[in-house]
Amino acid sequence: MTRSLLRKNFIKQELKKSMSEDIEVRIRKPDGSVVSGIKIGFKTLKEDWNEYELEDGTKLYIKLVLVDVVRLNEISPIGEPVYQILSQNIVRVKSSKRAIQEVEEAIKKEKTGYHE
């Protein structure tokens, strides 16, 4: 087996293992109280990019990537379990020509000390 195939198989095994193991955790809430919960394994079904166009023509592409999930031993006001997530935002920027020109002009003005 190639090294990358071995790595992929190892990752799959670790994911299966982590999805089957419940790990108890304790979380301190902003009010200082502590609540217990269980880490919940997950598998990614779909991760889409959100796309935004700014007024200057720049395009932002943002994706939330789930890292960890804990199901707290709490019930929400609507009667459902409360989940706490750890996530990361991935951001890609496609700057417009207009945005680049405006920033370059602002930098030149700052260097020369010129302000309107």
pLDDT digits (tens, 9 = 90+) for 24-69: 999 888 899 999 999 999 999 999 999 999 999 999 999 999 999 9
Please state the domain extents for the chain: 22-112
Beta-ladder partners of 59: 53, 94
Structure tokens at 111: 């260097």
Kindly report the pTM of this predicted structure: 0.63
Quickly count: other Cβ atoms within 10 Å of residue 33's Cβ.
8
pLDDT in tens, 66-110: 999 999 999 999 999 999 999 999 999 999 999 999 999 999 988
